Structure 1
Amino acid sequence: MIIQIDGTNTLNKGAELMLVAIIEQIEEKYPRAKVIYNSNHTNEKKLNIKTDLNIKKRFWLKNGRLPIALLSRLKLPYTFFTSKYALKNIDIVLDASGFQFSDQWNYSKERLNILENYLRDLKKYKSKIVFLPQALGPFETEPGKKAVEIINEFSDIIIAREQISYDYVINAGANKKKVWKHPDFTLLVKGIFPEKYNHLKGKVCIIPNIKMVTHTNAGDSEYLEFLKKIILVFKELGKDVFILNHEGSGDLKICNQLNSLFDDSLEIVTDLNAKEVKGVIGASFITVSSRFHGVASALSQGVPCLATSWNHKYKMLFQDYDQQDQIINVNDDWLTTRIKVIETFNNHKEINKALSAKKEFLAIEIQSMWNKIWSN
């Protein structure tokens, strides 16, 4: 059995957590499988995930930046040096890109052609193609509709992470027989808590996201001031706060800017692997996250959570856990947000109990999804 993993990387801890989740499932079902790690990022460090699986990364993925630059400048084909080059003899391709198909990205005709050729070649080589649970849509633009047309034609299974994404992709013309709906599958991954952070247990975890600046109407100063006011509320309630970098340099910049508003007195936790990030979140009292998988890691471990949002996937994730009205908005009336923060603090025990009960139900659904993937 040769299995290829697409759409993940180790720079974004959400993407890495999905990678870990897939590896753990493969290890359980096919411990002797050969795994091709087809990273969607060329500038990442060496894969450092504890596993007994035979995992290989394509050589040219980490050594192809110069050839890509040269060939593209000469207007020659360069996909051999990218993750969009189809290998032969792959039994199944598991794509865990999280959120890649939407009008929001406005893909060029060239990029869509590359995607189409890649998936067509995989099917020509008899590979099974599965798009694991991810956010999808909306699809009102021509590039968006074309993306659905492509994945509908060549994939075997498309899994929407929630109802809005399911409706978007179905209404855009996808075949209902191949579209499933299952929740975020990183729930099954157990976090690892680094002992050196014992002093952070029971504190409030703040997770910024650079996309709150680049993908919303909020500017740097508005977003930072919003987080500052939230931190001050927790301090009034007697709770210490720390900041967690959930991705790379972009998020770290926001972390540092936020910390500077407190004279650099807050601790910033960074450079952890995905399971450690989940472990740190799981040990927090409350998490306030602008990162999707920061929210997912909190809810799946019974940690009450508030979140800012730049996409429908946040709202729907909270609905999976029967947590309504936990989205906070930079542009909302501040008094409303303040009340919500205090209510979450005061209702901590009740929320924790409800989340823990819901997790058991969702875990069964996710395991059922994997069983169907392997048997289809």
Structure 2
Amino acid sequence: MRNIIITGGGMVNKGAQAMTLIAVHELRERFPDHRIYLYSPVDLANRKLDKDVFTFDFVGWYPLKFAHCQHNLVQRRIILLRNRSELLEAEALYRNTDFIVDISGYALGSNWSDKICNDYLDILEFANGFGIPVYLMPQSFGPFDFGEERQALNIRIQKLLPTAKIIFAREKEGYDALVNTYELKNVRLTYDLVLSNTKIDLANIFTSAPALNLPEIKSNSVAVIPNSMNTNISDQNTVLALYTNAINALLDHGKTVYLLSHSAMDSDLCRKLKKSFLSNDKVILLEQDFNCLEFNELVKKFQYLVASRFHSIVHAFKNGIPCIALGWATKYHDLLKLFGQEQYVLDVRNKIEAAQMLAVIAKMDACHLEESVKIQKGLADVQQQNVFDVLTQHQKES
């Protein structure tokens, strides 16, 4: 049995979960005789995660050392002496791999650390060491303003990105940055893979279908979904004030407000926001750690969202639920523009006045039914293409 390896995914947050489960489903539909592996050292080390419920396997070997030791006899000898069985097992897996699909949401650009960028590039270098084709599935890229002090990283990007079979950029800005900065010929502009997916067969993903555990949601409700990344762009007090203003405005419109984290990293923000409304029973903190399947069902129960996690908005749009996006990157603008919703983006990289927040919420509250219809029409156009179909064609030609 031949192998396919997925990189860049995992179970850490709902966005990564959704991309992983959809990738597994789409690959199983097209390559039913392949064994699928998820490269995720974090998940492999997580003892709380029941890995037996999945139809795919987790691997966590650090790939670069195995790539290097193919051509460096000294390194190879050292690794063989330290852990011969692990090396041989890894080599057997990799040499039997037909291709790698990377589903990183956003991990390459000058606003990320050298470590994050190099970890991303390690996959390409590792794949080259074993002659494995790599497809970089729809994700964000750039900017690439590295400066003189980071030229080593810039040179590494210039060397390794051309080795990918196809690079799928999901925003025009990222596409232009790749083409103009590195003169790449292997870049295509396409939609987010979660957004373009129309269905998943749980039998492709789970050994038995999981039960969904969903709370009751009151009518006339809105969810607020913060993102801790916003506190890296602006200071935490400013970000908390922004969400607090949004909650107060929603309460003024008679809404019940649910605070919901889309990632474990955002739970603390949700708790801090609830502390500001401790005595108000119309502000409800949902502390359950929902999986992406539960979140997809839960989002249907709200009139609209005030959301800062990219894939929380994607899940909402897939269900025709409008969103006010408090975003920190270009990807939010492109996503909402795709559905004619750009007037509902508030960019935390710029100063957001309280009056802006009030105006956007008032507009959404008055128009959310019309916006829902508009989103559903746009979704039908987006879902006419599926990026995974390219893999089928490429494998037939190889």
The separation in 2 between residues aligned to 1:293 and 1:101, in whole angstroms, is 18
Question: Is contact 1:193–1:280 with CA below 8 Å preserved after alignment?
Answer: no
Quote the residue 1:69 is aligned against. none
- Read off the aligned partner of 1:181 and give its amino acid letter: L
The CA deviation at 1:200 is 4.5
The question of 1:46 aligning with 2:49 is answered yes
Give per-residue Cα distances to partners, 1:278-334, cap 9 Å, x unaligned.
221232111111111111111222111011111111111112222112112452221
Q: 1:91 aligns with which of 98, 107, 113?
A: 98
Equivalent residue number for residue 283 of structure 1: 301
**Does the alignment pair 1:184 with 2:192?**
yes
Deviations 1:342-364 (A, max 9, x none): 10111011100000011011111
- Residue 120 of structure 1 corresponds to 125
Q: Which has the larger radius of gyration?
A: 2
Report which stretch shifted further, 200-209 or 143-152: 143-152
Give the CA deviation at 1:335.
Answer: 1.2
- Per-residue CA deviation, residues 221-259 of structure 1 (Å, 9 max, x unaligned), is 2211211111111111111110111111x3111010001
Q: Following TM superposition, by how much is the alpha carbon of 1:220 offset from its aligned partner in structure 2, in angstroms? A: 1.8
How does 1:1-376 map onto structure 2 within 5 Å? 1-39=2-40, 41-42=42-43, 43-44=45-46, 45-46=48-49, 53=55, 55-58=56-59, 87-107=94-114, 112=118, 118-141=123-146, 142=151, 145-176=154-185, 178-187=186-195, 188=197, 194=212, 196-200=214-218, 203-214=221-232, 216-217=233-234, 219-248=235-264, 250-263=265-278, 265=281, 266-329=284-347, 331-365=351-385, 367=386, 369-376=387-394
Whole-angstrom distance in 2 between the partners of 1:29 and 1:10 = 23
Shift of 1:340: 0.8
Rate the CA distance shift 1:275–1:174 in 2: closer, same or farther, 3 A.
farther
SS of 2:296's equivalent? helix
Distance 1:352-1:305 versus aligned 2 partners, 3 A rule? same
Shift in alpha-carbon separation, 1:21–1:118, aligned structure 2, 3 A:
closer
SS in 2 for 1:10: coil
**5+ residue gaps in structure 1?**
62-75
SS at match of 1:139: coil
> What is the SS of the residue equivalent to 1:130?
strand
The one-letter code sitting in structure 2 at the alignment partner of 1:58 is V
**One-letter amino acid matched to 2:238:** E
Alpha-carbon distance in structure 1 between the residues aligned to 2:107 and 2:367 = 36
- Give SS of 2:217's match: helix
Deviates more, 1:88-97 or 1:38-47: 38-47
CA distance in 1, matches of 2:180, 2:109: 13
CA shift for structure 1 position 41 = 2.7
CA contact (8 A) 1:130 1:156 kept: yes
* SS, match of residue 188 in structure 2: strand
1:77-123 CA distance string (max 9 Å, x none): 89x89xx9993221110100110100011315x973x6656423423
Question: CA contact under 8 A between 1:193 and 1:279: conserved in structure 2?
Answer: no
What SS does structure 2 have at the residue aligned with 1:186?
A: helix
Counterparts in 2 of 1:299 and 1:269: CA distance versus 1, 3 Å: farther
The 1:193–1:117 alpha-carbon spacing in structure 2 relative to 1, beyond 3 Å, is closer
Change (3 A) 1:111 1:28: closer
Q: Which amino acid aligns with 2:145?
A: E
1:9–1:40 CA contact under 8 A, matched in 2: no
Match in the other structure for 2:75: none
Q: Please report how far the alpha carbon of residue 49 of structure 1 lies from its aligned counterpart in structure 2 after TM superposition.
A: 9.0
Moved more, 160-169 or 184-193: 184-193
Give the letter aligned to residue 370 of structure 1.
F
Q: In the aligned structure 2, how far is the partner of 1:342 from the partner of 1:38? A: 45
For residues 145 and 201 of structure 1, the distance between their equivalents in structure 2, rounded to whole angstroms, comes to 51
**Structure 1 runs of 4+ off > 6 angstroms?**
none
What is the CA–CA distance in structure 2 between the aligned matches of 1:349 and 1:23, rounded to whole Å?
A: 34
Q: Which moved more, 1:130-139 or 1:293-302?
A: 293-302
SS at match of 1:41: helix
Q: TM-score, normalised by structure 2?
A: 0.80
Aligned length: 350
On the 8 A contact 2:40/2:60 being kept in 1, the answer is no
